[in-house]
Structure 1
Amino acid sequence: MDRISKLKTFLESSPDDSFLKHALALEYIKLEDDAAARRLFEELLEKEPEYVGSYYHLGKLLERAGEASLAGATYEKGMAMARSVNDKHAYNELQAAYEDLMY
């Protein structure tokens, strides 16, 4: 069974597991299925906005899709959330991505 199939099976029994959704979205990115990955990241962040690692990946997807302003807003929201949960590593990664995009 491939990784995507395994993750989907796990999600059937734990549909609200943010880690599984994040992992599945990353697998879709590897397959260049950005639309499926985007849907998963957006769904994940809607339900669990403090899952800060997903903001970076969603922002990068939006950049590739030519949606720079939405990517910037995603990085900003992620930075605010990372600050609120005191995740300095995530904050720094998001800030670097934001600065690369904007400057």
Structure 2
Amino acid sequence: MKSRIEQLQEYLKEDSNDSFLRYALALEYVRVEKNDAATDCFLKLIKDDENYIASYYQLGKLYESLNHLEKAVIIYKKGIEIAQKSENKKTLLELQEACNMLLEIDEDDQ
């Protein structure tokens, strides 16, 4: 029986531009703690489809878990810009809250 990662990779062979499949693959890498592969997937997805807004939140959370807080803030801010342009209020709020929490942590450390 194939793993979810193998299944998603097969589907992507048929349609390598499917942003949902690429997002699902990145999340699967996060789930099995293949963090470098997950990061690469998210970054490539954002590069190729900057409007796939959920990627910014998930990549930011991944960076947080790896203690790359500056990178997380940068990704959240980029996602905030995209969410504002697309008028996606729910995701905008989630990204703003995540970013603000990190910025508050940064202020507390100083």
Q: What's the TM-score, normalizing by structure 2? A: 0.90
1:57-68 pair list within 5 angstroms = 57-68=58-69
- Equivalents in 1 of 2:4, 2:70: separation in Å? 33
- Equivalents in 1 of 2:96, 2:8: separation in Å? 30
Structure number with bigger Rg: 2
Moved over 3 A (4+): none
Aligned to 1:23: 24
Deviation at 1:67, TM superposition (A): 1.6
Aligned to 2:36: 35
Q: What are the ranges of 5 or more consecutive residues in structure 2 without an aligned counterpart?
A: 105-110
Greater displacement, 1-10 / 40-49:
1-10
Aligned residues, how many? 103
Deviation at 1:71, TM superposition (A): 0.7
Letter in 2 for 1:28: Y
Greater displacement, 41-50 / 66-75:
66-75
Aligned to 1:55: 56
Aligned to 1:6: 7
Q: What are the ranges of 5 or more consecutive residues in structure 1 without an aligned counterpart?
A: none
Q: What's the TM-score, normalizing by structure 1? A: 0.96
